[in-house]
Structure 1
């Protein structure tokens, strides 16, 4: 088990990765907040929806991000509840990463195969239910 990094590694260098990811995420959310995905022509249509009429797990994700940037959590959940959960999960993971990097420790998620498969099954169930007649409340 590797220990903490040597003291010679500066805090700035240890936080470079989390800072770069934060900048990229902030830029992406800033762009989606400025360029409304509810207006046609700004973003491409989901290829699965275009070809089959079925909603993929990501359908409505840009609209939910746009709603979150503007502080409308209920609309964000309506547009894509799974995406909102993913945004929250990524934010928590980023905070843990940043705190561990500041201390010179590697990121450990503790996500074993059972938890990953549970996430996959939940995402597949979300996708299936939102495409069934009784799952209309999960559609964007």
Structure 2
């Protein structure tokens, strides 16, 4: 208000996103996606009948919010395995927003991106294979 620049221009956006995430988590905690029709279905699954890498994430997050790690992994194991990385990135940004010393950045090389895309692609393919043990990966 006094003409000084904002310490970090993305601060408002970050807090709005954090508030939206909290509201979303509260709704997801209260309303089970397995029994409610308020959540949108996966458009890829609707069109193709196949599971995308994100299929089962809503059910998995609901299970995690209730402390059921194995049920969450059963819904979408890739989502569960990605939580430490996503959590670190989010907490690192939170730390920065609070004006603290930044945490070490996660490695973001070209090979990291290609490796991530390879893991997601392989997961996408194998969770749609109609034979055991790959059927276990389907939500």
Query: Where on the TM-score scale, by shorter chain, does this alignment land: which range?
Result: 0.7 to 0.9
Q: Select 1:125's aligned residue among 108, 122, 126.
A: 122
Aligned equivalents of 2:38, 2:78: Cα separation in 1: 23
Aligned equivalents of 1:17, 1:42: Cα separation in 2: 26
Change (3 A) 1:31 1:40: closer
Matched with 2:138 is: 139
Gaps of 5+ in 2: none
Q: Select 1:56's aligned residue among 36, 52, 63.
A: 52
State the 1:115 CA deviation.
Answer: 0.2
Q: Select 2:85's aligned residue among 63, 85, 89.
A: 89
Change (3 A) 1:40 1:24: closer
Give TM-score scaled by structure 2 length: 0.79
Aligned equivalents of 2:25, 2:122: Cα separation in 1: 27
Matches within 5 A, 1:1-140: 16-101=12-97, 102-103=99-100, 108-132=105-129, 133-134=131-132, 135-140=134-139
Give TM-score scaled by structure 1 length: 0.78
Q: For the aligned residues, what is the CA RMSD?
A: 2.8
Would you say the 8 A contact 1:78–1:138 is kept in 2? yes
| Greater helix content | 1
State the 1:24 CA deviation.
Answer: 2.2
Gaps of 5+ in 1: 1-7
Would you say the 8 A contact 2:92–2:102 is kept in 1? no
